[in-house]
């Protein structure tokens, strides 16, 4: 059977919302009432393994764990793929072969609020306060880091999510600044006129709180390349006792580095919504067996997760759920389906906004 559109990795409420948004577009006359579509929780590879007679249509949507078949990518008829996430590093190397669109609007508030949640938890020494409440200990509790104008928070990457994060930090009374390789371009835009841009070299020396909101770019010859951006050499230049928050991609900040710097006192608190090597880490965690693992970042991730769960350290983690608010789940489906509707209105030739979003 041949479908017109297929949505992969659609889990929980997302599946329901995709169905709802499809029906709205049909009712509005923006999609054919006879459109044939599939909404499945399976990845592309899992679905094709179970349904060997299925041919993928010219437009599909996925999330980050699907892998596109080589014959699909190189079919000669340029395919169109929507990645239903704000990140797009898993597909960016295919931009010259496939039309790729990501979701640029749906999770702005959700991820920004997740970053703020981690800021409050780390600065508030929340785990220690919980532990001490068990015996109502009030005399031997660490002083938490008060958020005020004397504390400096730096947002790394001020796209849509980063700008919202910046605004929320500022609204919480912090002196806020931003690091972005596009700073000179962004300064020309009205929405950034009140943003204080600073170099990464200056930022690491004067910051109390670091919040990473950069998209991951793995292409080495790109000016946006940022694998291992927060490496030991860079973070070692920070003042003692900084808070480190990461809500975009783990590969930007190696866990072994941030764990070592926490143990040395350079970092005072860690909040992570993401981890490097997530697919491999997930397998180890679900098997609850790290026997034979020699990857230092995976082992560091294990330690950070365990210490967060048992509240023994100033660590706060979650399994990449920064986008998972009630509002974001609806917006996510809506934005994905707007890409589909545009694709049809554009004679199936691509999306209104697609990779590469930035040149270089």
pLDDT at 358: 74
Cα gap 280→290, rounded to integer Å: 11
| CATH architecture type of domain 5-106+326-345 | 3-Layer(aba) Sandwich (3.40)
What are the start and end residues of each CATH 3.40.50.720 domain in the chain? 5-106+326-345, 108-317
Residue 339 in contact with residue 355, Cβ under 8 Å?
A: no
Among 3.40.50.720, 1.20.140.10, 3.90.1150.10, 3.40.190.290, name the CATH number for the domain at 108-317.
3.40.50.720
Q: What is the pLDDT along the chain (360 residues), one digit of tens a residue?
A: 789 999 999 988 889 999 999 999 999 999 999 999 999 999 999 999 999 999 999 999 999 889 999 999 999 899 999 999 877 888 988 999 999 999 988 889 999 999 999 999 999 999 999 999 999 998 889 999 999 999 999 999 999 999 999 999 999 999 999 999 999 999 999 999 999 999 999 999 999 999 999 999 888 888 999 999 999 999 999 999 999 999 999 999 999 999 999 999 999 999 999 999 888 999 999 999 999 999 999 999 999 999 999 999 999 999 887 777 888 889 999 999 999 999 999 999 999 999 888 765
Residues 6+ apart with CB under 8 A from 194: none
pLDDT at 52: 92
Residues 6+ apart with CB under 8 A from 7: 18, 37, 38, 39, 40, 60, 61, 62, 84, 336
pLDDT at 179: 98
pLDDT at 359: 65
Q: Cα 103–104–108 angle (5° rounding)?
A: 110
């Amino acid at each position: 059977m041949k479908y017109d559109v297929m949505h992969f990795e659609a889990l929980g409420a997302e599946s329901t919302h995709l169905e709802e948004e499809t029906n709205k577009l049909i009712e509005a006359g923006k999609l054919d009432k006879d459109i044939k579509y599939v909404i499945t929780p399976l990845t592309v590879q899992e679905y094709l393994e179970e349904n060997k007679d299925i041919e993928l249509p010219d437009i599909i949507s996925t999330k980050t764990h699907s892998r596109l078949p080589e014959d699909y990518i190189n079919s000669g008829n340029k395919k169109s793929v929507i990645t239903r996430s704000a990140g797009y590093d898993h597909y960016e190397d295919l931009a010259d072969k496939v039309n790729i669109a990501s979701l640029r609007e749906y999770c702005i508030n959700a991820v920004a609020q997740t970053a703020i949640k981690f800021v409050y938890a780390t600065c508030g020494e929340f785990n220690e306060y919980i532990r001490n409440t068990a015996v109502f200990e009030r005399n031997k509790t660490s002083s938490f880091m008060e958020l005020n104008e004397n504390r400096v928070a730096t947002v790394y990457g001020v796209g849509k999510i980063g700008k919202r994060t910046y605004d929320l930090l500022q609204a919480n009374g912090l002196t806020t600044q931003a690091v972005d390789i596009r700073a000179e371009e962004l300064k020309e835009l009205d929405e950034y006129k009140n943003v204080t841009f600073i170099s990464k070299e200056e930022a690491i020396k004067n910051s109390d709180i670091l919040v990473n909101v950069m998209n991951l770019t793995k292409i080495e010859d790109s000016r946006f390349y940022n694998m291992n951006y927060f490496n030991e050499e860079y973070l070692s230049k920070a003042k003692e006792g900084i808070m480190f928050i990461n809500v975009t991609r783990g590969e930007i900040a190696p866990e072994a580095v941030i764990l070592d710097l926490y143990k040395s006192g350079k970092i005072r608190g860690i909040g992570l919504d993401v981890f490097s090597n997530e697919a491999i880490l997930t397998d180890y965690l679900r098997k609850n067996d790290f026997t034979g693992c020699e990857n230092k970042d995976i082992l560091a991730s294990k330690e950070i997760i365990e210490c967060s769960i048992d509240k023994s350290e100033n660590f706060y983690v979650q399994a990449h759920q920064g986008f998972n608010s009630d509002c974001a789940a609806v917006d996510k489906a809506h934005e994905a389906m707007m890409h589909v509707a545009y694709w049809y209105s554009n004679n199936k030739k691509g999306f209104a906004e697609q990779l590469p979003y930035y040149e270089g």
